[in-house]
Each structure stands twice: as structure tokens, then as C-alpha cells.
Amino acid sequence: KIMDFLRAVSIILVVMNVYWYCYEAVRLWGMDIGVVDRILMNFNRTAGLFHSILYTKVFAVILLALSCLGTKGVKGEKITWERIWAVLATGFVLFFLNWWILALPLPIEAVTALYILTVGGGYVCLLMGGLWMSRLLKHNLMEDVFNNKNESFMQETRLLTNEYSVNLPTRFYYKKKWNNGWINILLPQRASIVLGTPGSGKSFAVVNSYIKQQIEKGYSMYLYDFKFSDLSTIAYNHLMNHTEGYKVKPKFYVINFDDPRRSHRCNPIHPNFMEDITDAYESAYTIMLNLNKSWVQKQGDFFVESPIILFAAIIWYFKIFQNGKYCTFPHAIEFLNRRYEDIFPILSSYPDLENYLSPFMDAWLGGAAEQLQGQIASAKIPLSRMISPQLYWVMSDSEFTLDINNPEEPKILCVGNNPDRQNIYGAALGLYNSRIVKLVNKKGKLKSSIIIDELPTIYFKGLDNLIATARSNKVAVLLGFQDFSQLVRDYGDKEAKVVMNTVGNIFSGQVVGETAKTLSERFGKVLQKRQSISINRQDVSTSINTQMDALIPPSKISSLTQGMFVGSVADTFDERIEQKIFHCEIVVDAEKVKREEKDYKPIPIITDFTDEDGIDRMKERVQENYNRIKEDVKQIVKDELERIANDDNLKHLL
């Protein structure tokens, strides 16, 4: 009723405007009303209502607008904002900009009729536009089609730091505006995963920040650089500029099979770090499963375990032979490629290896030559792909040890792969991974970081155990890959689930399918408001209810833009984080990064192969090393066979 009253008063004001400014025509039409004249004269004298032709019109439009706010009309499906603005603009022109009609040199009746027509038409247009706008604002179900308002939430705005933390600045959308916040990884030791399809910004936004901040806080580091030397260059230059976080300045080491000039040499099966034959088995297991990733799902099979056990026996043989003088990976490969008639007598002559080799000896002595050749071939064929002078050079000597978190000699170790040779190099690098996992996960060491970008390109033996147990030894693990399905494919369903479910911190850019669903379930549900509107010809029925729904649904995760991440973080007893879930843009100062990259220096030459005459002798020296290893193994086999032939207790093995 109030709305109807306001609209009636608005119409009366319009009529008063016409009556006052078209008074002569009204008198000619015989509509002179003395009472009305006196009332209008009093209004004008006391309130100045007719001092301007616009006053009554403005008041009429204000009252009209107020009356439209309470409309209960039904929203027409054809009403659009374009039609509303067009009608309002037409009404404004006709209603307010028609004052010039009163000055036209036409008969007074014609002028008045034209004025009444424009004022009336303009008023009707304004009324229609106001009603449509009110109905559209009240009943428009399409204003938030992606449910952004319901699915936005308050996130952490405090910067929380400690001696271990990694802190990433963010921007997040909440209450219809962008807010500044922080992702606080207070305990990287609880392991972190960063997911995302190619180009989602994993390395740029997360991995690079981890490298820089952990170096600034004095972490020793093992960095797997799939596209060498992208990450290694960042680590090298940041270390050169930020050594203040270390009590003992760490040394920077590189393993790079492509360019021996820019690579240190390191023997991953150094005898000093193998305590018993199980260590040899771990190394053989790692190298074989890296070369044959399909074997991961067939562990325990006869033709999977046989080559692993054989190669483990060879590694342990070189550990105990002459106190490990020849205990290198290249020597083990060369020995495996000798005739099996030479290999088995030599290995069987050592009591430590007798039980390991009994299945092979039974086959050999029982005349099962075909079975034996199949077992040996299962080891020889994959390992023969790793016969390379450059790989032999890097892995045949040790210029440093792999205990990267040694308090007396901390290290930053970068190992580089090559996408064109990832299967071969990845297998060799897997040995470094498995050895480092054992060495860093010990008490009394420095805080350390293991950063593995593009995890599926290598098989990381013991990864699940490292994540589960290394927290107490201050080992922070960061794993980068594109999708959970890659992890399942390369590590098997059981181990992949352990990795996925035991990490404390998770970042995800755009991912799709089952991965998006899994993450959405991990982030949980929240109480959300739901509005339901029923429209019929007479009325509109609105109902509002609440229900638990996904905080970040899979559809949101599968459509994230570059630089946008969802995820969750873990807190500590001392520093609590109430809102651990985030859905935000990780802010990276691109200009600062560009300035830093301009000043980056390439990783320097580590081994100079230039002779006194200035000639590069790299190929010659690498080839000489390759030939020397082959000759070493030939001589070892010759000497060992002579030893067996001269020993009455061992002659039966020949």
C-alpha cells in the first residue's frame, strides 16, 4: 500500500506540472478550478515548487523510484539490462528534455498536447524501466552462475615465520574483492606436493620459491633438475648471494652426464657407505626398476627378482674385492657383461655370495642353460643401455660424498637430467636418490631439503618411507609432478596412495579427472546457502536453505588459471593456523625475478680438460677412463679365474 501511495503522489506531481505550465490551454478547455489554483499558488509561494520546470519532475521521479523498490511483479524472461537501459534513456529524454516544446511557435492547444504526450510517454518509460530493474535485481538467478560468492572463503592473512618456514604471498577473492594473504608452510619437514598440468606455474610459483627461501634459511639441499640447468642455475646463484644463513658455508656440487666439464664425479655405490649386502640389493633394485618401470608392479616375480639379485651380488662382490678398490657402478656393469661361465665361478668362490647365487648355480649345474641365460639377459639387456663413456666418467670416481647434511661439510647437490635421455640418465640418478635417502635420514644432522621436480621421470626408491619418517630428522621433501595418475602408473597403487596420503602440505594448480575429485574430497565441505525461486504468471516464490557442499569443487580445480593454486598446509603446536585451506593466486614479483635472472652467472666449468697447449682433451680423457674400466674388469676376471684354478677347494666351480 505504501508503494501504491508513493506512485500515486508521483503521478499527482506530474499532473500538477502539466496543469501549471500548460495553464492557458487548461483554461481554454474550460477546466479552470479555483480551488486547485489556490492550492498550487500556496505550494509555489511556500516551497517554490514551480520556480523551475524540473522541480516537480525530479520529485515525481524520486517517488516513482521508491515505489518500484517494493514491486512484487514477476520477472519476464525477456527482460535484459540492455532493454532496461534503452527504456530508461528514452524515458529520461522524453520526461526531462521536453521543456523546449513550450516555446514552439504553434497554437497553444498543439503545444500542450505535444507536451502532455512527451511527459506521459517519458513517465511510462521510466516506470517500466524501474519495474523491470527491480524485478531483475530481485529475481536474477544468473548473477553468480559459477557460485563464486558461496565458494569464496576467508584465508590466512598473517605472515607466520620460523627457522624452517617457507612463506608465499597470495591474493584471494572474498566478499566481492581481492585480498592479500600468505601461505605459511611452517613445517616443510611434513613433506609437500605440488601438482599441476604443464604450464600451470608449479616451478615458477612454488618450486623456485622453495629453493630460494630454503637456501636463505641455511638448508643443505639435494635438487633433481629434470631440465638441467633451469633449477640448478637458480640454486647456484642464490647460494652465491645468500650464504649468511649457514654456520659453515656449503659447497655446490653438480652431477651432469651431458657435459663432464660442468660435472663433479661421484660414485653412488662407494664402498664406505655400504654396510652390508642389503645396501647392494637396494642399489640393484633401484637401478633395475628405473630401467624397467613396468617391474614396479611385478615385484616378487621370478624374472624381476632374478636380475636384481644377480646385480646385487656383483655390487657386493666389488665391495669385498680388494677392499672396494674397484667398487664403482661402471665396473659392475662391465663385469655383468662378461660370460656367465666366468661370472658364476668367481662370485660363487666367495662365501658371502654363496646363498645369493644358489638359484643361479642350481640352474647352471642342473643343465638349465636356457633358464640361466634368460635370467642373465634380464639383467644385461637393460643395463647395456647405460654403457656410455660420459656416464662412466662421472660415476667411476668420487670427488665428494653424498651426506649432504653433514654439519661439518654441508652441500648443495644438483643432479641434472635431459628430457631426450631421461630413461638412461634417470636410472643412473635413481642410484644417487636411494643412497641420499639413507644418508640424510639420520639424527644429529643439519636441516636438509630434497626437491624432486618431475618425479615420474625417475624411480625414487624408499620415497614413502622417507616422507613418513624423515620429519624428526629435519628433512623437508618437495615433490613436483603433474597428476596423481602418473604416480600410480610409475610407483604402483599402494605406494602412490601412501605418498598422497602422508604429505602434510599440498599445492595444486589445474588438474582434472580423479585427481581433482580426490583433492576436492581432501579439502572437505562447508555450509553453503542455496536460493530457489519459482516464477509463475502471478507471483514469485523464493526459498532459501543451507546444505553442506564442497568447499572447492572439482570443476573449480580443473579450470584454474595459470598461477592460481588450491591446497592445504599443516601447522604446529606452537603456531596454529585456523584456516589451512587456500584457493588463491600465488604472487610472484616478475620484475624482481627478471632483474635477478639478468645478473645470473652460468654454472662454472668444474673440470678443465684443456692441456698445456690449449687443446681440449675432454673426449680423449673420457674415452681413456672408459677403456681403463674395461681393462680393469678383464684383468680382474683373468686373475680371479687363475686364483680359482690354483685352489683345490674351488676347482670344482670351473
Q: What is the tally of structural domains in the chain?
A: 1
* Averaged pLDDT score across all residues of the chain: 84
Strands 475-480, 505-508: pairing is unpaired
Residue 213 lies in a domain: no
Q: Of 221, 229, 268, whose CA–CA distance to 419 is shortest?
A: 229
The answer to whether position 518 is within a domain reads: no
Asked if 541 contacts 181 with a C-beta cutoff of 8 angstroms, the reply is no
Q: Pairing relation of β-strands 475-480 and 192-195?
A: parallel
Q: What's the whole-number mean pLDDT along residues 612-625?
A: 88
Is 258 in contact with 416 (CB distance < 8 Å)? yes
pLDDT band, residue 331 (cuts 50/70/90): very high
For 316, residues 6+ apart whose C-beta sits below 8 A from its C-beta are 274, 277, 280, 352, 353, 356
Distance CA 440, CA 436 (A): 6
> What is the residue range of 43's domain?
1-137
What local confidence, expressed as pLDDT, does residue 83 receive?
84
Element (H, E) at 139: helix 108-139
Report residue 476: phi and psi, to 5°: -100, 125
What is the DSSP secondary structure assignment for residue 191, as one 8-state letter?
-
Q: Give a yes or no: residue 26 inside a domain.
A: yes
The C-alpha cell of 29 is what?
478547455
Kindly report, residue by residue over 78-102, the tens digit of the pLDDT: 677 788 888 889 988 888 888 788 7
The whole-number average pLDDT for the span 307-324 is 89
CA distance 219 to 475: 9
- Global pTM reads 0.76
Residue 92, domain member (yes or no)? yes
To the nearest whole percent, how much of the chain has pLDDT over 90?
32
Question: What's the rounded Cα separation, in Å, for the pair 540 and 69?
Answer: 15
- 548 and 134 Cβ atoms separated by less than 8 Å: no
pLDDT at residue number 583? 93
3-state helix, strand and coil shares in percent for the chain, rounded to the nearest 5: 55, 15, 30
Average pLDDT, integer, range 350-356? 81
Identify the pLDDT of residue 240.
93
pLDDT at 327 (0 to 100): 92
Report if residue 415 sits inside a domain: no
Q: Are 123 and 14 in contact (CB under 8 A)?
A: yes
Answer whether residue 112 is part of any domain.
Answer: yes
Higher pLDDT, 355 or 446: 446
d(CA 400, CA 509): 37
Within a domain: 78: yes
- Residue 410 parent element (H or E): none
Instruction: List all residues 6 or more positions away from 325 whose beta carbon is below 8 Å from its beta carbon.
Output: none
Calculate ∠ Cα 138-139-145, nearest 5°.
Answer: 115
pLDDT at position 146: 57
Q: How far is Cα 34 from Cα 152, in angstroms, rounded to an integer?
A: 65
Choice among 275-279, 541-545, 563-567 with the minimum mean pLDDT = 541-545
Number of helices followed by number of strands (H, E) in the chain: 24, 13
With a cut of 60, say whether residue 73 has pLDDT above it.
Answer: no
- The position carrying cell 589451512 is 580
In a domain, 119, yes or no: yes
